[in-house]
């Protein structure tokens, strides 16, 4: 699924650029503040419509520019060749085009560029809110189950309608909405549950390669007590739901529970161990995605040297190489990784004051 060509303009301190990345590993090095992370951020926005560094896109646009423009040429072994472009303006306007045709949702663009990010905030996957872990699950389900997006949209619509009834204190309408709500909730739940069941053995194998001393258990909580039917729970919680004005149980409360010795992993693992677990989770999704779709994930790894110790760092690099996927890795010094890891056909890019130059040694 490699990006064959990338063009960026109007993003933070990056000067307008056009580069041809390696189909495999791309090392991006430069001083702090040079623009390394901004290059990965641009790729992430192209793939997801969001920044991994800020909850708003406005700060991403260069201060003296009205918009940023991102463009890529993609060669996907299943979908074919694609030209994906994104334009985001300071006013909030946006446009997404694929092969010259306007796309009406970010999901269509994301399906062309399945991107995983590993960077400092990624490690909130263990210590952050349940929403972080729901998003992790849904990334995987979305990219392997074509029906999931429609399932999720239907559930979200019914959840909003049920919550509106609760806020208006109209209990007589709840029996009408609950039947459809439960049906949509069960569809979302089954897709998530089946995905986690398939991910579990992949995760255990991947984690053993990153750190054989870690024994981590994953379990899926659907958002309500597993031994009870959701319709029964809604009936029992109806009075409380009416009091607080929203639905307490359902897929909107789902959770991936990550434990060691029956305790939350975030509470007992060292920071280094937590990073290894999160890296294993991210890599496992790429492995499963490749197994089930015959396509590859693109990995963006920001400042790898500061996030993992040497042992875990090179175990991660070997796993990435085994995936035979496209990777973009940033570091301050060009030799912090590449002196020890030189995958075939890799490229090296230097970033200085927003200028990106190809420093791949000539063979």
Q: Is 105 annotated as a binding residue?
A: no
Check the annotation: does 36 bind a ligand.
yes
100 is in an annotated binding site: no
User: 49 a known binding residue?
Assistant: no
CA-angle at 85, arms to 84 and 87, nearest 5°: 155
Instruction: Please choose, from the candidates 188, 78, 187, the residue with its C-alpha nearest in 3D space to the C-alpha of residue 137.
Output: 188
186 is in an annotated binding site: no
CA distance 261 to 267: 11
SS3 label, residue 286: helix
Q: At what angle do helices 271-293 and 174-210 cross, to 10 degrees?
A: 110
CB–CB of 332/31 below 8 Å?
A: yes
Place of tokens 């872990």: 133
Calpha distance 341→322 (Å, rounded)? 13
- Please name which of 110, 58, 54 lies closest in space to residue 79, comparing C-alpha atoms: 110
DSSP notation for 205-249: HHHHHH-TT---EEEEE-SS-TTS-HHHHHHHHHHHHHHHTS--S
Is 30 labelled as part of a ligand binding site? Answer: yes
Q: Is 262 annotated as a binding residue?
A: no
Whole-number Å distance between alpha carbons of 358 and 347:
8
Question: Is 324 assigned to a binding site?
Answer: no
Extract the annotated binding site.
Answer: 30-37
Extract the annotated binding site for ATP.
Answer: 30-37
């Amino acid at each position: 699924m490699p990006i064959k060509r990338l063009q960026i303009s109007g993003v933070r301190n990056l000067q307008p650029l056009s580069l041809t990345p390696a189909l495999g590993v791309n090392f991006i090095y430069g001083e702090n503040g040079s623009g390394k992370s901004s290059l990965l951020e641009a790729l992430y926005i192209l793939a997801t419509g969001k920044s991994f560094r800020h909850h708003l896109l406005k700060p991403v646009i260069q201060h003296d520019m009205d918009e940023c423009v991102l463009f890529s040429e993609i060669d996907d072994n299943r979908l074919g060749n694609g030209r994906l472009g994104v334009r985001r303006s300071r006013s909030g306007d946006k446009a997404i085009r694929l092969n010259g045709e306007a796309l009406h949702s970010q999901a269509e663009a994301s399906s062309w560029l399945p991107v995983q990010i590993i960077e400092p905030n990624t490690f909130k996957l263990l210590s952050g809110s349940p929403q972080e872990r729901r998003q992790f699950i849904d990334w995987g389900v979305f990219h392997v189950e074509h029906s999931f997006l429609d399932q999720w949209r239907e559930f979200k619509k019914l959840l909003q309608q049920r919550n509106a009834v609760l806020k208006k204190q109209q209990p007589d309408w709840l029996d009408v909405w609950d039947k459809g709500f439960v049906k949509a909730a069960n569809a979302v739940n089954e897709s998530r549950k089946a995905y986690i069941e398939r991910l579990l053995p992949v995760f255990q194998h991947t984690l053993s390669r990153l750190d054989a001393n870690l024994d981590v258990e994953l379990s899926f909580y659907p958002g309500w007590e597993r031994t009870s039917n959701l319709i029964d729970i809604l009936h029992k919680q109806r009075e409380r739901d009416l009091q607080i004005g929203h639905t307490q149980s359902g897929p909107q409360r789902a959770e991936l529970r990550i434990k060691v010795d029956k305790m939350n992993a975030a509470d007992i693992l060292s920071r280094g161990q937590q990073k290894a677990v999160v890296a294993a989770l991210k890599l496992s999704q790429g492995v499963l995605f490749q197994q089930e779709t015959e396509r590859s994930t693109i990995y963006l790894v920001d400042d790898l040297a500061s996030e993992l110790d040497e042992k875990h760092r090179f175990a991660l690099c070997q796993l990435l190489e085994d995936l035979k996927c496209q990777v973009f890795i940033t570091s301050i010094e060009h030799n912090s990784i590449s002196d020890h890891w030189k995958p075939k056909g890799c490229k090296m890019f230097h970033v200085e004051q927003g200028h990106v130059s190809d420093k791949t040694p000539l063979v």
